[in-house]
Amino acid sequence: MPVSFEFFPPRDEISQKSLKKVREQLKALNPEYFSVTFGAGGSTQDATFETISAIQSEGFVPAAPHLSCIGSKKENIKSLLRDYINLGVKHIVALRGDIPSGVRDIGDFNHANELVTFIREEFNDHFSIMVAAYPEKHPEATSFRNDLENFVNKVKSGASQAITQYFYNPDAYFRFCDDVNSMGVNIPITPGIMPITNCKQLKRFSEMCGAEIPKWIIQRLESYGDDLESIRQFGYEVVDEMCLKLQSNGVKNFHFYSMNKTVPSFELAKNLV
């Protein structure tokens, strides 16, 4: 069962060493790739490149850099992609990205489908291009229909596969796949899996990205108060059950938002491979 893991670029030497150890542990599951996030407006772009370079040099697991187009110029994107080609990179996660506060010039791209089109025009089929999918609707979309149409546009522009925002309602994922299938989309749509380890952090993340946390999960997490071990155990059981349900209904790929930690992504993923 193919699995993959997302990291964010470390900002100091200690964090770099820690993430290298995480990669060494996760490679035991033979992941398809390690993806690395990319800060819009230049906030972590250099660190992303350095992390991708380190992953590629290790030679165990292919690297898949995120590429956010907001605030970027075409020539800068082209130059960065050429550098990635020189590193042997063949996977790209193409995203619009968030508009940084105070930025007036959003660059040469308004939407992710424009970035996908540009990559295809400049580099043909060199890259497998992954795009984002939102089973519970992108927080900025005006409607579910509008969001579905935006996703279809990204696929028609040349996307090879998709990774979803995390969710805790499998029915939302299945319905999303059915909806885009009916609109002519048949690329692989990999569910993004977010382990539950911290109630406050999870609520903050979910408010920002529009992911719904079912009420019964929130109430149970809050009932544990500061009992972190009970939160982790309950969170593991909830997410593990969801993954197994997805798997039993035909899902063949899983992408884990690792938060640069081995556990619990490793524990969840090993039950699937």
Q: Which residues are catalytic?
A: 6
Cα distance between residue 30 and residue 42, in whole Å: 31
List C-alpha distances in Å: 160 to 61, 111, 157, 222: 19, 17, 10, 40
Cα distance between residue 238 and residue 232, in whole Å: 10
Q: Do residues 82 and 124 touch, judged by C-beta distance below 8 A? A: no
List C-alpha distances in Å: 15 to 33, 85, 159, 185: 20, 26, 32, 39
Residue 219: which H helix or E strand, with range?
A: helix 215-223
Both structure tokens of 215? 């009420």
